[in-house]
Amino acid sequence: MGGGPLDQEERLLCILPFDEPKEITARLREKFPKLSISFINMGSMTDEDVYRDKTILATLSALPPNPADCPELELIHVFSAGTNHISKHPIYTDTKITLTTSSGVHGPQIAEWVLMTALVHSHKYNRLYELQKQHQWGRPQVGGDYHSVRDMVDQRLGVLGYGSIGRQVGRVAKAMGMDVVAYTATPKDTPEKKRDNGFIVPGTGDPDGEFPSSWFSGLDKASLHQFLKQDLDYLVISVPLTKETTHLLGKDEFDILKKKQTFLTNISRGAIVDQPALVAALKEGKLRGAALDVADPEPLPSDNPLWSAPNVIITPHISGVGTAYNERAFAILELNLLRKQLGEKLVNVVNRKRGY
């Protein structure tokens, strides 16, 4: 996306589910003197004419009803990693307004959630916590359950979708002594292709793609199955939800994973997994367990059989939230404001054809 001179006037509208973070907006005004900022808490949004003269929009989901309502809009920065929730909106389908995402801000906290739930499962923590609530010390059964804990060293982690989140998961797993293998839509067969060109929280991730011991790629089932056949002890799903990834994992895939009784973790979107097939795989012991921060649908109805599936950990789509989220999302916007003015390539630009 091209830019203008450094003194070009920009009109930024923020419609977000929180009150204005004045320290952040003050910093933006100081850094960009020609930038005017309007901030609306989306909970109090009433006037749909607010988009008319704006050149930049920062939003989670609020968009102009129609392209005619935003004739000067050049850039929309979305405060989420994905854009599947707005992919059917006419602003997405019928315009060429540049879209950028907040991909990259979630890696640290989601990687911690992935590790936390894996350890809760492998160390039998839920059972220990129940003993604590009952004021019971408990004793390991000789050769029994509490003696069956295995550490992460030399176990193999498959990361399905080696983007910003997957790269931080890979970094943490490598620090735990695990072997990491990665799967991407397109081949990463050169050092340049393995690099992460998106936003990276300093000191995190895998900027040069150095952690995976092997890479797999493809958009077809045969390629996916070849990846799943790599004796995976853990599988982390971190691909975006698109038409191609909907129900990407189902009965056939769980039949492959049963060889190692893989532990499945999904921090992406619930619809990437065929949920009834997942429940069946857990009940039949094809999977060691599952940690799910997403479900299909959300909220998950109280009578859904997923709740009572064996060895499952379910949380309400919170793995990516944290106190640093807003600061980091605005940091991406700040970086792109500067790049836009300098006429440089923006980071985290959405490829509408690919859906992310």
Question: Which pLDDT tens digit goes with each residue over 325-340?
Answer: 999 999 999 999 999 9
Is there a domain that residue 223 lies in? Answer: yes
Is there a domain that residue 203 lies in? Answer: yes
Helix (H) or strand (E) holding 125: helix 125-133
Is there a domain that residue 2 lies in? Answer: no
Q: Residues 237-267: pLDDT tens digits?
A: 999 999 999 999 999 999 999 999 999 999 9
Is there a domain that residue 355 lies in? Answer: no
What is the CATH classification number for the domain harbouring 74?
A: 3.40.50.720
Instruction: Quote the pLDDT of residue 148.
Output: 81
Question: Do 221 and 233 belong to one domain?
Answer: yes
Structure tokens at 160: 């399905």
Question: Do 86 and 170 belong to one domain?
Answer: no
Question: Do 337 and 300 belong to one domain?
Answer: no
Is there a domain that residue 5 lies in? Answer: no
- Looking at the structure of the chain, the number of domains it has is 2
Mean pLDDT of the chain: 94
Is there a domain that residue 306 lies in? Answer: yes
Question: Do 197 and 272 belong to one domain?
Answer: yes
Is there a domain that residue 1 lies in? Answer: no
Whether the Cβ atoms of residue 320 and residue 114 lie closer than 8 Å to each other = no
Question: Do 46 and 130 belong to one domain?
Answer: no
Low-confidence ranges of the chain (pLDDT < 70): 1-7, 140-144
Instruction: Quote the pLDDT of residue 103.
Output: 94
Q: Residues 277-325: pLDDT tens digits?
A: 999 999 999 999 999 999 999 999 999 999 999 999 999 999 999 999 9
Question: Do 161 and 264 belong to one domain?
Answer: yes
What's the domain range around 247?
107-314
Question: Do 273 and 131 belong to one domain?
Answer: yes
**Whole-angstrom distance, CA of residue 330 vs CA of residue 252:** 41
Question: Do 163 and 44 belong to one domain?
Answer: no
Handedness of CA 114, 271, 285, 258 (dihedral sign): negative
Question: Do 167 and 55 belong to one domain?
Answer: no
**CA distances to 34, 122, 126, 204, 247 from 166, in Å:** 37, 21, 26, 11, 19
Instruction: Quote the pLDDT of residue 230.
Output: 98
Question: Do 73 and 121 belong to one domain?
Answer: no
Question: Do 164 and 242 belong to one domain?
Answer: yes
Question: Do 77 and 202 belong to one domain?
Answer: no
The label of the residue with tokens 């789509």 reads 317
Q: How far apart are the first and last CA of the chain?
A: 17
Instruction: Quote the pLDDT of residue 293.
Output: 98
Instruction: Quote the pLDDT of residue 143.
Output: 47
Number of Cα atoms under 13 Å in the Cβ half of residue 102: 21
